[in-house]
């Protein structure tokens, strides 16, 4: 049933093919990384004709498995120069699975300076000109597409940043309410989409069917066990639904690991003003929705709806990383302003983690003062306007550091760090350093074990056992991303053994297999080996798997610690 769609933007043609043997048994991140590893020259220009952009739902997509509708976007990253998979919620992943599409591969680039849109449906794949969308943000783009194609579609688009091919450009996906508020944000894959001349993809699920299942009764039983685990674990049943990911602000601040004013301190004095508890309170007072799912089939529902003081929609609930990036990291404690910047980033189409770090580094460089809320908003809007300063900011934190002579620039492989200081959460520091993706907490979320004591207890301030912890989590995460599951299922999977067993049983029941837990681990290892192989051929050495120098030399208050996991330990992470 499943096929790969190939879209040649040079010839403006499309074709479909059966899944080649090399790609069998893969979905989501596993499939995007396999295609990029095999088909893309690692030394090519990320925004040139020889890069490819791949969209792939996961192995469990198109089923009634809870939280299985995620989609992976893959390519060579304009930001890192290495392989990249960026993950998103929204409706498109589930729709593509129900259309029997394992992946869409975008190849080549147009001969003419025109924009195009791709129309995908049952037995339909068509390229049309879309110059009328030129220069539009994601919200206006989707509004125009909704008027033309209706409310029963899924929309994928880029904003101005993608058109300008900025290194922090994201790819937007519409949620259940057709808002372009879910993003494959990291690594600049929106710039790759822009380089292909592709402004938008319209996915019509009409006529699609649930994915075929080899053993329906076994699958049904396993989905019930999996959903039960999600509803039993306190993080996925209570914390995330009530407070969103922003619940972590006060938790990480208390742990002394909340990067403040460009990673100069681990605590922010006004953290409570922007924490999940305040977010929930404001939302209820303004009659917003504190419990909302970003995609069909979500039972965690951590994506609330943020309204302004007048009760008007601003954005989805800003994620913890977004609140941190524009909040404590910039010395700002105004949730309304943070939500506006989140909305602006979604509209322009830039990654909020990269952009918040870029603004903080600019503040460090004297462009604005820390705590200058209006100044921060101005800088974000400069990106959408395409001014010279905006283009520097849209190039990411590394570009801003070079432009303004800043030495404290928190990047690995040129990708900016998320909301956990690696000196005080050393397990995630190992992940930042070694992940083939660049600094990325989602690649191996050691915060769970270091801080939240999920899946064990490894002291976050000590260097012992952090390499092994990160390694195990990176393997598990690669498998979860390949299955198309939301990363937050990792919380019950780490604590409730039957949650993991249920995933194995669902994959077996869907595909008629007899995999074991060890086979799932081997799948995660296979994905990481492909990604590291691409990066090695792109010229990455062990020197790329290191944190910036200041993390080893500058002590972080309040614990006055440095990152002291040895290079030998870092180099052991992928010894499997």
Among 265, 314, 171, 210, residue whose Cα is nearest residue 557: 265
**pLDDT of the residue at 301:** 84
**pLDDT of the residue at 145:** 98
**pLDDT of the residue at 511:** 94
Does the pLDDT value for residue 469 go beyond 90? Answer: yes
CATH class of 3-203: alpha beta
CA 41, 46, 49, 51 torsion: positive or negative? Answer: positive
Does the pLDDT value for residue 1 go beyond 80? Answer: no
**pLDDT of the residue at 502:** 96
**pLDDT of the residue at 242:** 82
CATH class of 259-421: mainly alpha
Give pLDDT tens digits for 210-229: 889 999 999 999 999 999 99
Report the chain's mean pLDDT, rounded to a whole number.
96
**pLDDT of the residue at 293:** 84
Bridging pattern class, strands 154-157 and 198-203: antiparallel
**pLDDT of the residue at 256:** 98
Does the pLDDT value for residue 208 go beyond 90? Answer: yes
The confidence band for 571, taking pLDDT boundaries of 50, 70 and 90, is very high
**pLDDT of the residue at 453:** 95
Residue that is written with structure tokens 């396999």 in the block:
34
**pLDDT of the residue at 91:** 95
Give pLDDT tens digits for 94-117: 999 999 999 999 999 999 999 999
Does the pLDDT value for residue 402 go beyond 90? Answer: yes
Does the pLDDT value for residue 455 go beyond 90? Answer: yes
Give pLDDT tens digits for 491-519: 999 999 999 999 999 999 999 999 999 99
**pLDDT of the residue at 226:** 94
Give pLDDT tens digits for 242-268: 888 989 999 999 999 999 999 999 999
Q: b/e map of 434-459 (b: 16 or more CB within 10 Å)?
A: bbbbbbbbbbbbbbbbbbbebbeebe
Listed by start position, the domains of the chain span 3-203, 259-421
Give pLDDT tens digits for 130-176: 999 999 999 999 999 999 999 999 999 999 999 999 999 999 999 99
Helix axes 216-232, 497-511, angle to 10 degrees: 160
How many helices (H) and strands (E) the chain has is answered by 24, 16
Give pLDDT tens digits for 41-99: 999 999 999 999 999 999 999 999 999 999 999 999 999 999 999 999 999 999 999 99
Helix axes 397-404, 352-364, angle to 10 degrees: 20
Q: What is the H or E stretch that residue 431 is in?
A: helix 426-434
Fold match, 3-203 / 259-421: no
The confidence band for 286, taking pLDDT boundaries of 50, 70 and 90, is very high
Question: What is the Cα–Cα distance from 463 to 454, expressed in whole angstroms?
Answer: 18
Give pLDDT tens digits for 321-376: 999 999 999 999 999 999 999 999 999 999 999 999 999 999 999 999 999 999 99
């Amino acid at each position: 049933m499943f096929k790969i769609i190939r879209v040649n933007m040079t010839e403006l043609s499309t074709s479909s093919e059966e899944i080649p043997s090399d790609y069998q048994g893969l979905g989501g991140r596993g499939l995007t990384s396999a295609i990029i590893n095999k088909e893309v020259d690692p030394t090519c220009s990320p925004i040139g004709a020889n890069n490819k952009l791949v969209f792939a739902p996961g192995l469990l997509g198109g089923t009634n498995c809870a939280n299985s509708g995620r989609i992976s976007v893959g390519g060579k990253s304009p930001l890192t120069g290495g392989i990249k998979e960026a993950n998103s919620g929204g409706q498109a992943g589930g729709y593509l699975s129900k259309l029997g599409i394992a992946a869409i591969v975008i190849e080549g680039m147009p001969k003419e300076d025109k924009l195009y849109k791709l129309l995908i449906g049952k037995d339909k794949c068509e390229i049309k000109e879309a110059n009328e969308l030129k220069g539009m943000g994601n919200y206006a783009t989707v509004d125009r597409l909704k008027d033309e194609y209706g409310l029963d579609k899924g929309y994928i688009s880029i904003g101005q940043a993608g058109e300008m091919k900025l290194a922090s450009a994201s790819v937007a996906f519409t949620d259940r309410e057709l808002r372009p508020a879910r993003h494959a944000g990291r690594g600049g894959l929106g710039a790759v989409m822009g380089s292909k001349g592709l402004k938008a993809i319209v996915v019509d699920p009409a006529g699609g069917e649930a994915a075929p299942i080899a053993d329906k009764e076994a699958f049904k039983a396993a989905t019930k066990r999996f959903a039960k685990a999600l509803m039993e674990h306190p993080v996925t049943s209570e914390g995330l639904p009530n407070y969103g990911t922003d619940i972590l602000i006060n938790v990480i601040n208390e742990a002394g690991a909340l990067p403040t004013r460009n990673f100069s301190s681990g605590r922010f004095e006004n953290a409570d003003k922007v924490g999940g508890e305040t977010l929930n309170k404001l939302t209820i007072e303004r009659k917003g929705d504190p419990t909302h799912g970003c995609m069909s089939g979500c039972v965690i529902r951590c994506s609330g709806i943020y309204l302004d003081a007048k009760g008007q929609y601003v954005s989805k609930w800003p994620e913890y990383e977004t609140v941190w990036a524009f909040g404590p990291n910039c010395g700002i404690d105004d949730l309304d302003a943070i939500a506006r910047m989140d909305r602006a980033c979604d509209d322009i189409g830039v990654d909020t983690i990269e952009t918040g770090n870029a603004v903080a580094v600019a503040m460090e460089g004297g462009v604005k003062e820390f705590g200058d809320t209006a100044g921060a908003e101005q800088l974000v809007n400069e990106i959408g306007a395409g001014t010279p300063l905006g283009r520097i900011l849209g190039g990411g934190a590394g570009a801003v550091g070079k432009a303004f002579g800043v030495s404290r620039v928190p990047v690995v492989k040129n990708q900016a760090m998320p909301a956990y200081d690696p000196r005080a959460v050393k397990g995630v520091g190992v992940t930042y350093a070694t992940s083939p993706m660049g600094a990325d907490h989602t690649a191996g979320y050691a915060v769970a074990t270091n801080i939240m004591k999920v899946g064990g207890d490894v002291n976050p301030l000590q260097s012992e056992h952090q390499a092994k912890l990160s390694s195990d989590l990176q393997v598990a995460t690669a498998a979860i991303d390949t299955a198309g599951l939301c990363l937050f299922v990792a919380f019950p999977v780490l604590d409730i053994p039957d949650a993991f067993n249920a995933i194995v049983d669902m994959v077996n029941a869907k595909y008629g297999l007899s995999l074991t837990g060890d086979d799932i681990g081997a799948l995660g290892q296979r994905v990481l080996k492909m990604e590291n192989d691409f990066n090695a051929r792109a010229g990455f050495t062990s020197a790329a798997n290191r944190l910036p120098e200041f993390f080893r030399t500058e002590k972080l208050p309040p614990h006055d610690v440095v990152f002291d996991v040895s290079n030998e330990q870092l180099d052991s992470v992928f010894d499997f």
